[in-house]
Every structure is written in C-alpha cells, then in structure tokens.
Amino acid sequence: MEFTKMHGLGNDFVIVYGEQQLPENASELALQICNRYFGIGADGLVYILPSDKADFRMRIMNSDGTEAEQCGNAIRCVSKYVYDNNLTDSEEITIETLGAGVQKVQLMVNDGMVEKVRVDMGAPILHGLTIPTTIDSDHIIEQPIEVNGQQFTFTAVSMGNPHCVIPVEDAATLDYSVIGPILETHELFPKKINVEFITVYNRSHIEMRVWERGAGPTLACGTGACATLVASALRGVTDREATISLKGGDLYIEWNSSDNHVYMTGPAEDVFRGTFE
C-alpha cells in the first residue's frame, strides 16, 4: 500500500489514494499503521475515494480504529494532496465527508503547490440531541459538568462531529491527561465527544488545547477550532471571526452571519512517502 504522511499543524495522517471503497479491514489497518512504535505513526488513517456527489470522498479512521465523521485538518491535507498530485487542476473543489456532507474547498496556490486551504465547514449544529448529547435543548451554553471532583462549564457544538468547549484559566499549561478521557466518555455524550479546553485572550484571539475522541491529545483539531469559535461567539466573549492558537500553530476561523457557515483557513504539509506492506 503506497501512502503519503501529511499533517495539518501537527495533527498527522497517513493518506491513501487509489482504493475504490473503504477496505473491510480499515479499522485493523488504522490500529496497526497509526501505532507510533510499531507502525508508521499518525493520529488517523485517511482514504481518498471516488464520490458520486463531489470531486472526492474522504473517510477517516482514528488511531484507535474508530471512524471519525469529519476532520478539519484531514480535509486540508486531502485538498493539498489531490491538487499537488495532479488529480485536479481546479483551485475550487468539493469533498464528500461522512458526517458533514459535501464541503467546498478553496485552494491557495503558490508556484504550483497548495500553501493554505480555506474550507466551508458548513453550519454548526447546536441542538443538544442532534450534536448528540442527552440534553434536549436548542442550545447548550455554559452547561455545568463535574469531572473527577472538578467543576467546569461547557458549550456543545457539532461540526459534523461532536464537541464540548470548556473555558479554563490557562489552556496552554493545563494538564488534561486525566479529565480528557473522562469527559470524552461522559454519560452526557452518547457517541463520546471531542473536548476543547480554551482561554479567550481577547475578542479575536483564543488559545485552545484538545482531547480528540478516538485519538487522545493532538497538536491541532480543525473542527474543534471551528466549534471553539462558535461556542465563544455564542457566549458573547468573542466576535464571529478569530485566530485560534493550537499547540501546532494557528487557524483562522470565521462564522459568517449571512449564510451561518463556518470557514476555516490553515496550512497542510507533506512529511514523507512510502510503501506499507
């Protein structure tokens, strides 16, 4: 199996192109390939597949073998891959995702290579049962939650995959190795959840750290950055566009008031290529 290792702000993936459909053993392959000691090492295994709805289709297997509905960093990597490898010559493409439908992508090209990618991530889902949580409410904003004897509040958002966004005093130094997995599997979240710990610096700048469902701590999460901006705007502590600083770098997120869609702009990078046997 030929592969390309890529990353979006340090959130890294093994990208595979050429399959016609998701392999039946994709879950087992993800466990083997993503292992950082006995495999290639990655946060996820991503397949670029044919689509009858869009230019390409993306399927994402987390490092624990579960499938993710969507991933903002992965879609930027896929977008760069298809353009840089001459699978398309268009700087505007569409990619079908499992949880967020077809998404429109704008490629920012320099000297024939993609430098940045702007993705229309669609409208945020805010109804509690649809995210999903067990709370039947149109919006879940600053909802109290207790974890391991600690009190927090969270705002829930889905960007095609579920997120709970938790304000903390200093996201950059927070040790969330214990509370992250507890929150991921909390009874309020029937399909588990991605957890963002955030510190708002001002109305246009947020620090964010993430515990990803199925992957644990990662250096960046694109959908998480989108959820963070939406949650912060709903709380009234930021404007509807901001820079989100993650451990691996910055993403620029906009929540457009005219179409209610969230737009994410950020880089994607090649690391190396090889063959897995």
Active-site positions read: 71, 221
Assign residue 112 a region (left: φ > 0; alpha: ψ between -120 and 50; beta: otherwise): left
Gap between the Cα atoms of 107 and 254, Å rounded: 17
Token pair belonging to 220: 């960046």
In a 13 Å sphere around the CA of 227, the CA atoms on its Cβ side amount to 37
Token pair belonging to 69: 């509905």
Residue pair 190/219 in contact by the 8 Å Cβ criterion: no
| Element (DSSP H or E) covering residue 23 | none
Gap between the Cα atoms of 253 and 246, Å rounded: 12
State whether residue 182 is helix, strand or coil.
helix
Question: Residues with Cβ < 8 Å from 126, sequence gap 6 or more?
Answer: 138, 139, 140, 156, 157, 158, 230, 234
Token look-up 């340090």 returns 10
